[in-house]
Structure 1
């Protein structure tokens, strides 16, 4: 894989910033912040819209963003709600379950004209479902969706914090949908039990909600991109998995960073699956690395066909 230089692009990530509390460590987390971290690694001007509490955990998160050279002026400081945190519990096959605590600052993101301008001028705007669990942050998101030109819905279903009504609204807004295979199966089950395969399920959603692009991630079976005219499957790298926390977030960041810099879908997907595997082979969602390391990693690890 050969990296190419181009003009600086801006991607805005909207939603939760928090602390992931693992059995043996506490680490910064939240899918949008994970994506912002990896975008920055790929030379993107990554911007984070969120909210933290006026407490030591909030201060620590803002310091972490600054350490990553991600601007903090769009992260509100809430005097009335604490900084978000999640308890992560490891299960079988390295899969994690999460206790996502409520009544926290990122549930209370307030609208801002500065946000409107930032999102309107950005090359892409990324959002998910979890931030929609509270009406205030959800309404702010809906207003920003009216400003965005390229809307990326990274679905990240976290029971019980989603509803069919909200998901349908967001599906109708997005230009690019990213979801895993089990999420695809769940959503398609709301409408039909007769889809023949993954491709037909994706086509159904694209036609129903007028979605231009869909990516389905499948863990060790790689990932497939669909745009209505073609599909491209990128095999996974065969690695020893440490944990899967943040692997999907890094996948999305690598894909978008390459796509908006006019790389081919094949190249964008290759970087995405490589970085996802690299992150899964390390501990935590945001390990330290360079792009050269990821490229060497991809070259050294065998691709596994689906």
Structure 2
């Protein structure tokens, strides 16, 4: 599909909303976070992948923003936090070969802030992927709710129910 005014192909805005982090394995570190992965894959398929998250004003945050930029993802919606550090998840393997995740907290994405910039962005998106992990604290939970409320009617909402031990308590 092209726009009526030019021949530029239409690229729907697909947003990964929530955690942008480093998956830390015993022998390497890799960019991760389910919403960010979703945006990356959407971008690879020709959509305009956008990551909405928050990282620390630290080296790990700089490296994640640099990674997004190197992959052609729009990093302009990644907030920087001068107090909280960039999120990490330590991944080890249990004796029976199953992955074991330690999601460190609190981290920058727990404090994702609602802004006028996000209000404008979410009025014009085609889809969003968000999940449970980035909603563990009230600030980011409220921001994610506001983002979803601002979306156009009919936009696709993909919810990643990613419950991990020690991240949630039964009410």
What TM-score range do you get, normalising by the shorter chain? 0.7 to 0.9
Cα distance in 2 for residues equivalent to 1:93 and 1:154? 26
Unpaired runs of at least 5, structure 1: 1-5, 166-306
Q: What's 2:82 paired with?
A: 79
Off by >6 Å, runs of 4+ in structure 1: none
Cα distance in 1 for residues equivalent to 2:97 and 2:148? 35
Aligned pair count reads: 160
Q: 1:12 aligns with which of 15, 39, 42?
A: 15
Q: Normalising by structure 1, what TM-score?
A: 0.50
Deviates more, 1:113-122 or 1:123-132: 113-122
Q: What's 2:137 paired with?
A: 134
Q: What's 1:31 paired with?
A: 34
Q: What's 1:47 paired with?
A: 50
Q: Which has the higher strand share?
A: 2
Q: What's 1:228 paired with?
A: none
Q: What's 1:194 paired with?
A: none
Cα distance in 2 for residues equivalent to 1:93 and 1:110? 40
Classify 1:94/1:68 alpha carbon distance in 2 versus 1 (closer, same or farther; 3 Å).
farther
Cα distance in 2 for residues equivalent to 1:94 and 1:11? 34
Give the secondary structure class of the aligned counterpart of 2:10. Answer: coil
- Relative contact order, higher structure (CA 8 A, sep 6+): 2
Name the larger-Rg structure.
1
CA RMSD of aligned residues (A): 1.7
- The C-alpha deviation readout for 1:198-234, integer Å capped at 9, x for no partner, is xxxxxxxxxxxxxxxxxxxxxxxxxxxxxxxxxxxxx
Conserved 8 A contact 2:127-2:158: yes
Q: 2:127 aligns with which of 120, 124, 127?
A: 124
Structure 2 matches for 1:1-306, cutoff 5 A?
7-91=10-94, 95-148=98-151, 149-162=155-168
Q: Which has the higher helix share?
A: 1
- The C-alpha deviation readout for 1:111-144, integer Å capped at 9, x for no partner, is 0121122122111111100001111100101111
Conserved 8 A contact 1:21-1:27: yes
Q: What's 2:6 paired with?
A: none
Conserved 8 A contact 1:130-1:161: yes
Please report how far the alpha carbon of residue 156 of structure 1 lies from its aligned counterpart in structure 2 after TM superposition: 1.4
- The C-alpha deviation readout for 1:221-266, integer Å capped at 9, x for no partner, is xxxxxxxxxxxxxxxxxxxxxxxxxxxxxxxxxxxxxxxxxxxxxx
Conserved 8 A contact 1:119-1:125: no
Cα distance in 1 for residues equivalent to 2:44 and 2:143? 28
Q: What's 1:279 paired with?
A: none
Cα distance in 2 for residues equivalent to 1:153 and 1:115? 19
Classify 1:7/1:101 alpha carbon distance in 2 versus 1 (closer, same or farther; 3 Å).
same
